Amino acid sequence: MTTPQKASSPATDARIHRFSIQPLNRFRGASATIKRPREVAHFSYDDNHEYQADESGINYYVPPPMGANLKDGFDTFKHYEDKEDPHLDSLLRALVDADKQDKGEVKADFVTWRGMMTKIMTAPSDNFAEFAMFATLHNGTIYIEEDFPSRAASRAEENNRPPPRYQHPDQQSREMMTYWGYKFEKLALIPTLPNQTSRQDIERHQRGIVSNHAQHCSIVSTAFGPHTLLLGGEVDGLLAPKPTDPSAQIQWVELKTSEELPPPPRQQHRDVLKFERKLLKFWAQSFLLGVPKIVVGFRSKGGVLTGLQTFNTHEIPGMVRRGTNCWDGNVCINFATEFLEWLKTVVGSEAVYRVVLKKGSGVVEVTRVADGTGGVVSPLFREYLDRVK
């Protein structure tokens, strides 16, 4: 008697699907068509990092004071870090709250956080790129989230690592390097319209406790070639009130800090290279949500704010091409477009797939790790989809 062949369990399906990043030349040339990102929903987190279906977390840009010490107030930093897996829950909840199903705007080929797309887009131009994500197909849409357990484990490992025996006096703790980015935001963002806020109130706000609990997140509809996406991500502030015309460009501004470059006589190619490599992340992150301007606050090694420069997001790839030419925006866009195309062929059923790029490997590997959709698609959103079908 022959025993019937056991159907292989998806969780033990050991097939590894591979997408090679090299050779990069196949991604060069004109970029795939990108649909300009349009906001379809938004939400805020309040001072307790609780979800609010409104614009309460929006801030406005004010020029920060030069000479400020970005280390000030570090001892009172209210630092929020996810302890539990956030999945895509807030993004999906905002889509339910915006309830745009009549316009077909909650339908897309991919739904993910902007941070995941930034990692994908920048992978071909960053030799140190690494990521781990989960992807699942539900109702014709691929949902992608961060592999939170892996990130939490590597964060815990970093936190437990003993400090080096010798530290250069300029070397700052990781926590401080995180703090001064938020301190810069505190100095450059206020919750009320600047022209309706007194100087005194602005200064009082700037002296306040630094916290990263509150946020405002924008969810946009966009497309890479034929692949439509809904992307959600934090937006730092506005340069002008939000337009009433929903198709008009929102004047978001992204704030960044970076170490100042030495003045020209002492400036070396490697200083510019280091900065232009950073611009890759700044550009991709802002480009994906349609953030038109980036304000970089330059700081000394010790954390003193010494300069400001505003960049037009769309001009950054050209600037780098004419500069050190260390990355190519078209390669990033074309790589992401082809990668999404390939992912559609791999994530073909309602199962959880792990999508991993190991540092230096140059190959993205996808394996099926579980049945169902795991925690990727929230029950709230599933119910919503069933209701509007």
Residues that bind ligand A3P (CB under 6 A): 178, 181-182, 184, 236, 256-257
70 versus 347: smaller Cβ distance to Mg ion:
70
Minimum Å gap between C-beta 179 and ligand A3P is 7
109 versus 146: smaller Cβ distance to ligand A3P:
146
CA angle (225, 328, 232) in 5-degree steps: 50
DSSP 274-287: HHHHHHHHHHHHHH
* Assigned token pair, 237: 């502030």
Give yes or no for residue 210 binding Mg ion (CB under 5 A): no
Number of residues that bind Mg ion (CB under 5 A): 3
Stretch that binds Mg ion, among 120-128, 188-196, 226-234, 313-321 (CB under 5 A): 226-234
Minimum Å gap between C-beta 305 and Mg ion is 15
- For strand 252-259 and strand 363-371, is the pairing parallel, antiparallel, or unpaired? unpaired
Given a contact cutoff of 8 angstroms between Cβ atoms, the answer to whether 377 and 138 are in contact is: yes
For residue 201, report the phi and psi dihedrals to the nearest 5 degrees.
-65, -35
Sheet with 227-234: list strands edge to edge. Answer: 16-20, 363-371, 351-357, 131-138, 141-146, 110-113, 227-234, 215-224, 34-45, 51-52
Contacts of 84 (CB under 8 A, 6+ apart): none
- For strand 51-52 and strand 110-113, is the pairing parallel, antiparallel, or unpaired? unpaired
109 versus 236: smaller Cβ distance to ligand A3P:
236
118 binds, among Mg ion, ligand A3P, none (CB under 5 to 8 A by kind): none
131 versus 327: smaller Cβ distance to ligand A3P:
131
Give yes or no for residue 44 binding Mg ion (CB under 5 A): no
Stretch that binds Mg ion, among 60-68, 111-119, 251-259, 334-342 (CB under 5 A): 251-259
182 binds, among Mg ion, ligand A3P, none (CB under 5 to 8 A by kind): ligand A3P
Give yes or no for residue 236 binding Mg ion (CB under 5 A): yes
Tell me, what amino acid is at 208?
Answer: G
Work out which of 85, 97, 130, 234 binds Mg ion, going by CB under 5 A: 234
257 binds, among Mg ion, ligand A3P, none (CB under 5 to 8 A by kind): ligand A3P
Minimum Å gap between C-beta 382 and ligand A3P is 30
Distance CA 328, CA 306 (A): 29
Minimum Å gap between C-beta 333 and ligand A3P is 21
Minimum Å gap between C-beta 297 and Mg ion is 10
CA angle (43, 224, 82) in 5-degree steps: 35
Distance CA 155, CA 148 (A): 10
Give yes or no for residue 281 binding Mg ion (CB under 5 A): no
CA angle (234, 237, 241) in 5-degree steps: 125
Distance CA 122, CA 327 (A): 9
217 versus 351: smaller Cβ distance to ligand A3P:
217
Give yes or no for residue 146 binding Mg ion (CB under 5 A): no
* Assigned token pair, 324: 């050190």
**C-alpha dihedral sign at 180, 182, 186, 190:** positive
Give yes or no for residue 61 binding Mg ion (CB under 5 A): no
56 versus 178: smaller Cβ distance to ligand A3P:
178
- Bond from prior residue into 23 cis (ω within 30 degrees of 0): yes
61 versus 184: smaller Cβ distance to ligand A3P:
184
